[in-house]
Amino acid sequence: MNWTRPNAAVAATARLAASGIAFLALALPAFAGDRALIDYIGYSEDFRYFAFEEFGIQDGSGFAYSSIYVVDLSADSWVVGTPIRFQAESEETTMQSVRATVAQNAAGHFEEFRIDVPVEIAALIGDGAPNTDAKTLDFGAPGYLPGTVSGDYSLSLKTYDTTATSPCSDWFGIDPQGYELTIADSGTQRLVHRDANLPRSRGCPTDYRIHSVVMPFGGVTLSNAVAIISVYPGGFEGPDRRFLAVPLGL
Size of the chain, expressed as the number of residues it contains: 250
Q: Report pLDDT for 124.
A: 96
Q: Report pLDDT for 250.
A: 66
Q: Report pLDDT for 33.
A: 60
Q: What pTM value is reported for the model?
A: 0.84
- Contact call for residues 198 and 205 (beta carbons, < 8 A): yes
Q: Give CA–CA dist 182/162, Å, rounded.
A: 18
Supply φ then ψ for residue 25, to 5 degrees: -65, -30
Give Cα separations from 234 to 29, 177, 193, 214 (angstroms). Answer: 19, 11, 22, 27
Per-residue tens of pLDDT for the chain, all 250 residues: 333 333 444 344 444 433 443 333 334 444 446 899 999 999 999 999 999 999 999 887 889 999 999 999 999 999 999 999 999 999 999 999 999 999 999 999 999 999 999 999 999 999 998 888 999 999 999 988 888 899 999 999 999 999 999 999 999 988 999 999 999 988 799 999 999 999 999 999 999 999 999 999 988 788 999 999 999 998 777 789 999 999 998 6
